[in-house]
Every structure is written in C-alpha cells, then in structure tokens.
C-alpha cells in the first residue's frame, strides 16, 4: 500500500490481486481479446472461449453450472435485474415482495421504486444484532408473495443471514429467493448446488477483481426467470444484451479461481486481524460494537463511540481510509440507516466507523489504526465545547 495512506475500506472495494492486474495488462497490450465475442470470425471465437473459461472459473467457485451465470456491469445492475425482472415476470401470481430495511441501497431503492409501480413490499425489521427473525418471515408470507430478497453479508456490519433457512421457507411456498451476495462471494462458502437460492448478485471488485464487471446467478429450475431491463442484440439469452467486456470477464474469472483456492487462508487472516483490531479498540471509553460479534464475516468491524461527531472523526483518522457506512451512501451525511434499524440512536449511528480489511492487509496497519483511532478520539474530546466548559 502507498506510504501516504493505509487502506482499510475493503468492503467498499478491494485492490486488484497482482495476478489479475498482470492478466489484464497482458490482454490489453498484446491480445486480440478486444474482439466481439458474438462474432463468428476467428478473433470472435477466441474471445468467446475466454468468456466461457471465465464462466467455468466462476461456476467452480459457486458450484453451479456456467449457463446459470449472466454477466453484468456489477452488483448494482445484478440486483436491479434480479429484483425488478423477477417481480415483473411473476405479476400473474401476485405483487407482494419481502425484504429488509438493512439491505444495501442497490436493493432497498429497487424495492422503493417498485412500490411506486403498484407492488406491495413488506419490510422486515432486524433484531438488535442485525439478524432476521425467521418467525417474522413466516408471518409475512402471503398467497400473493412472489419474491424475497435478503443479503448474505451486511456491507456495514458484516452480519450474516441464515440463507439456507430463508431459502428453504421460500422454496416450500414457491417464492423466488434473491440474495445480494456481493460481500460474501469469494470470501465465504456459497454453494449454489446445495443452497435453496434462485437468484444471486455478485461483483468482481469485492473479490480482488476490477470494477465494472459483475454477474447474476439465475437457477436453472422451473418458474425461475427474470424479464430483461433493456433490449438489444440478444446476447446472454436476451436477459442482458450487449457486447461483452472480455478483458473484465477474464479478470473476474481469474479472481474467482484465486478465491477458490485461497478462501480458507483469507478467512483465517482477516479473523486474526479483526481480533487484533477489536482488542485494541475495546478498552477505549465509550466504544460500542455494532452488529453480531459471533455471526458475522470477520473482514468487517463497525464501531460507534459516545460524544464524537462522525465526520470530524473520519477526517481525524487520515491517512486511514475507512468508512462511516456504505460507500454508496458516503456523500449523504445522514446517520447510517442500517444502524438506526438496529436501534442505535442518531448520535451513535452518526459516529460509526466501518473498518474493513482483506488479503493484503497487515498487522502493522491494524496496529496503526488502533493508535490513530485512540489519538483522534482523545484529541476530539479535548476540544469538544461541552467538555471544555465542564473542565473550567
């Protein structure tokens, strides 16, 4: 990492794996992979082989068939295509949908848009740790329910949902189950041959691949289908038409192949780093851990602190690159809607800092983060107007 910053915002995006960067560089400089993979000439056929190989690599990571994967521009498009496409396709059955208010905005905002189009959405509140109560889900099902969307790993807190149990309940009622798996794919096991999941969104840049390329899993089973969001040349079975970005797809494939072999080692690495980080932050007065300490992905730690303003803390922490919440909502200074849904008051939600790390993170970076956080809190408390007044 560059000497002038320490990057601990892996939940927003991950650095390129060096092998992935090398592959992309070679393809962009010396290859004929710029060709349209739909073309029938030799260059097009070579590009098509590259796309097929990448689909096979990603399919091995997910334990699914390559034909069940649709390439997209990223998880945001995948979420939009899955939710809107499935909801529209199944209007003959009903227009009732189920999700949670703690979903990523690329999911939550899709449901809000569908509400304006005549769909009825049930928003299931999490418990104080961020988990879905399965009894609440059971009570929410109706005869006209067509789709449930619950994320695998929460992007702000790392909390894991019981995807297997949720999917089984959906399967028993012939309700499609969509999972935003962007934060989990390549980091945690996600076996689509055994999980009762119908639709799953993912993106390369959360797993050491490039931005601009993602995928949507559509299970090859009866009544599991989505309507396209737009139309064109009929590529990818007409579900998501357009000329494929071959270099990006190849990079995603390689990132998936690397993740398949390094997942267990990566998990142990981030688990050790989170324990080290929390051991350093926990003794600081007023620190509160957000989310479930046990049932969560260890590459994310979210903490709030009493009597500290979040934006000031974020600036004081530089050169640490951390987040106050979802990167997609970072321009909005409102307190985290995820943490408010967990019952945090506005002050604690607004002071939250998400530290996320991964394959390239080091113990020395974690130690620096602990010291910088402690120093920043002490400095901001020392100059806080209320504390200055009480001290005189």
How many Å apart are CA 156 and CA 163, to the nearest integer? 18
**Which of the listed CATH numbers 3.90.1150.10, 3.40.50.720, 3.40.50.300, 3.40.50.2300 matches domain 6-12+263-382?**
3.90.1150.10
Which CATH architecture is the domain 18-258 placed in?
3-Layer(aba) Sandwich (3.40)
* Chain position carrying tokens 């961020």: 130
How many Å apart are CA 209 and CA 18, to the nearest integer? 10
- Domain map (residue ranges) of the chain: 6-12+263-382, 18-258
How many Å apart are CA 291 and CA 282, to the nearest integer? 14
Largest CA distance in the chain: 81
Angle at 143 between CA 194 and CA 116, to 5 degrees: 95
Contact (CB, 8 A) for 313 and 353:
yes
Choosing from 64, 170, 224, 328, the catalytic residue is 328
- Buried residues in 224-239 as b, exposed as e (16+ CB within 10 A): bbbebeeeeeebbeeb
Partners of residue 300 on adjacent β-strands: 356
User: Global pTM?
Assistant: 0.94
Domains 6-12+263-382 and 18-258 share a fold: no
Could you confirm whether 64 is annotated as catalytic? Answer: no
For the record, the structure tokens of 252 come out as: 């995603």
Q: pLDDT tens digits, the chain, 392 residues: what are they?
A: 446 899 999 999 999 999 999 999 999 987 767 888 988 899 999 999 999 999 999 999 999 999 999 999 999 999 999 999 999 999 999 999 999 999 999 999 999 999 999 999 999 999 999 999 999 999 999 999 999 999 999 999 999 999 999 999 999 999 999 999 999 999 999 999 999 999 999 999 999 999 999 999 999 998 899 999 999 988 998 999 999 999 999 999 999 999 999 999 999 999 999 999 999 999 999 999 999 988 999 999 999 999 898 888 999 999 999 998 544 445 555 788 999 898 888 888 999 999 999 999 999 999 999 999 999 999 999 987 655 444 43
């Amino acid at each position: 990492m560059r000497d002038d910053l320490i990057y601990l915002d892996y939940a927003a995006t991950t650095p390129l794996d060096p092998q992935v960067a090398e592959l992309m560089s070679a393809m962009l400089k010396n290859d004929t992979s710029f060709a349209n993979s739909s073309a029938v000439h030799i260059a097009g056929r070579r590009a098509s082989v590259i796309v097929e190989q990448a689909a096979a690599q990603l399919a091995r990571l997910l334990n699914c068939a390559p034909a069940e994967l649709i390439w997209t521009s990223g998880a945001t498009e995948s979420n939009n295509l899955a939710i809107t496409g499935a909801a529209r396709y199944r209007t003959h059955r009903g227009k009732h949908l189920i999700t949670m208010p703690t979903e990523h905005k690329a999911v939550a905002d899709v449901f809000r848009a569908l509400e304006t189009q005549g769909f009825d959405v049930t928003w299931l509140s999490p418990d104080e740790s961020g988990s879905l109560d399965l009894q609440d889900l059971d009570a929410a099902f109706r005869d006209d329910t067509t789709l449930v969307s619950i994320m695998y790993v929460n992007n702000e807190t790392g909390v894991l949902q019981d995807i297997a149990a949720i999917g089984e309940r959906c399967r028993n009622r012939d309700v499609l189950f969509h999972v935003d798996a962007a934060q989990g794919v390549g980091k945690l096991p996600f076996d689509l041959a055994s999980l009762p999941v119908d639709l799953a969104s993912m993106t390369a840049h959360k797993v050491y691949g490039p931005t601009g390329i993602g995928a949507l899993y559509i299970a090859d089973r009866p009544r599991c289908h989505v309507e396209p969001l737009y139309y064109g040349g009929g590529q990818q079975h007409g579900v998501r038409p357009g000329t494929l970005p071959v270099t990006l797809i190849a990079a995603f494939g390689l990132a998936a192949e690397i993740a398949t072999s390094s997942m267990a080692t990566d998990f142990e690495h981030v688990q050790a780093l989170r324990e080290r980080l929390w051991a350093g932050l926990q003794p600081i007065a007023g620190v509160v851990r957000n989310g479930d300490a046990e049932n969560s992905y260890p590459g994310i730690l979210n903490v709030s602190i009493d009597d500290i303003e979040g934006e000031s803390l974020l600036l004081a922490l530089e050169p640490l690159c951390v987040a106050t919440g979802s990167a997609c909502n970072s321009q909005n200074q409102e307190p985290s809607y995820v943490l408010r849904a967990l019952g945090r008051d506005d002050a604690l939600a607004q002071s939250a800092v998400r530290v996320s790390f991964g394959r390239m993170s080091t113990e020395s970076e974690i130690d620096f983060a602990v010291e910088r956080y402690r120093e920043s809190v002490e400095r901001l408390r020392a100059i806080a107007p209320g504390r200055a007044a009480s001290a005189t």
